[in-house]
Structure 1
Amino acid sequence: MARLPLEIRDARPDDAGELIALWSLCVAEGLNDETDPLSVGWDVPTEEESRHALAEISRAPSQRLCVALSGPQIVGVMKADLSAATPLHLRSVVVVSELHVHPRHRRRGVAWSLMSIAAEWADQVGSSVVYAWAPAPSRDAHRFLTRIGFGHFATVRAARVRVLQARLAGRTASGRGTGRLIAVRRSLRRTHEEAAAAGATD
């Protein structure tokens, strides 16, 4: 398909309603009966919450939320963050997430244009590498990232807090139980050895 003229700019609070609709459409597209909604990390926010979130991002020098417009319509969005390369480094790297393109505007250069902004920002801030993540069910996103030069670097996993707490509590309780069992066995062994020693001296 032909590439349409695009305008790329930073998102504004008044984009909230349109961005919620775009996000919901792209997330729903990747879901099926076997997909855990957790894997896409999406709960529909209120427009008021999104307005506040967008205002926070616009004030943060280490964050950018860029939108692509075709005419008056937002057809794509990308989140980019500056993050320390590791906890032991002061230098930052650019991390791209939440790259979404409206289904009717794909293969028209929208994602390429948004990623170009990420590459330019990385160059400006001295980031020698750009990281990017995409939801596990989004095969198109992973294929696109591979096509433009991204390799597999890490696996991002998610767990619901209640499930995580329950599993960790179970492991802790199991560990305490095992420790008590070992202590009991050692105590019984010592008692048996002491009794045997006493019988030998009689």
Structure 2
Amino acid sequence: MDGLVALCLAARAESSVGSQVCTSDGATLAQQLGALTAIPGGTVLVARTEGAVVGLLLGRLLGPNPFTDDVSLAVEALYVDTRHRRRGVGHALMVGAAEVASSAGAQHVYAAPIPGARGMQRFFVQLGFAAAAAHRVTSTVALQRRLAVDGAMVRRAGSRGLEDLIARRRQSRAGRAADKAGVGDVVRVGDKENVPFAEDAPAQPSRLSISKQVKRAVQTRRDAESSTTTS
């Protein structure tokens, strides 16, 4: 519980609207987290490494109720310690959340990113969550499929880590964009046409060589015209 409280307070300090995240009083926050676990369907997932709590996910199973027959999982908070980001912690927490949703028969997973956490917004978008009022939503099946694909890519990355995987994705996108132009295509600049690759164009004499040849020819012609014969 102490680790959970510390992470919640860190999330509060990081958010631009900290008062909307949680209370700043650690004792009160511990009581509130305990109450969440006592609520039917309340879910708390914790990521630990070397005995330290480095990530948390707070969720709650909703429904059925008089307004819907469906069961959904609401992810109310997801936070990873700044020193352990880009290491798959958030991904692992979402895998756990998807398993909770699937076990409960929840067809959809809703998420409410912490206010002001732009990185978390991007994270949910990358996992396929679409806007739904003030939340984001995706189907449980689609989430599990996306998490499986991302997990396979991370495993193939091996020891080079997630940062290298992201760099390779960016490089791949840049390569596809470059391929759209086509090798050897003519690119028009102003009123001139230019061939991007020199090896695709016919070889041309250098300007220096041409200049020397013209100068030599002109000089030879002038010498012949200006010569005189004396008797």
TM range, normalised to the smaller chain?
Answer: 0.5 to 0.7
Listed as ranges, the gaps of 5+ residues in structure 1 are 1-14, 157-202
CA contact (8 A) 2:58 2:76 kept: yes
Instruction: For residue 86 of structure 1, report the CA deviation from its aligned partner.
Output: 6.5
1:136 is aligned to 115
1:43 is aligned to 23
- After superposition, the CA RMSD in angstroms is 2.0
Listed as ranges, the gaps of 5+ residues in structure 2 are 136-231
- Percent of pairs with identical residues: 29
Normalising by the residue count of structure 2, what TM-score does the alignment of the two structures yield?
A: 0.53
In 1, Cα distance between the equivalents of 2:29 and 2:42? Answer: 15
In 1, Cα distance between the equivalents of 2:7 and 2:43? Answer: 18
- Structure number with greater CO (CA < 8 Å, separation at least 6) is 1
Instruction: For residue 42 of structure 1, report the CA deviation from its aligned partner.
Output: 2.2
CA contact (8 A) 1:68 1:74 kept: yes
Normalising by the residue count of structure 1, what TM-score does the alignment of the two structures yield?
A: 0.60
Question: Is residue 61 of structure 2 the alignment partner of residue 76 of structure 1?
Answer: no
CA contact (8 A) 2:62 2:71 kept: yes
Q: Which has the larger radius of gyration?
A: 2
In 2, Cα distance between the equivalents of 1:111 and 1:119? Answer: 12
51-60 or 75-84: bigger deviation: 51-60
Residue type at the aligned position of 1:132: A
Q: 1:154 to 1:90 in 2, by over 3 A?
A: same
Residue type at the aligned position of 1:92: V
1:19 is aligned to 4
2:125 is aligned to 146
Query: Secondary structure of the residue that 1:81 maps to in structure 2?
Result: strand
Detail structure 1 runs of 4+ shifted over 4 Å in the superposition. Answer: none
In 1, Cα distance between the equivalents of 2:77 and 2:45? Answer: 10
- Number of residues of Structure 1 aligned to a counterpart in Structure 2: 135
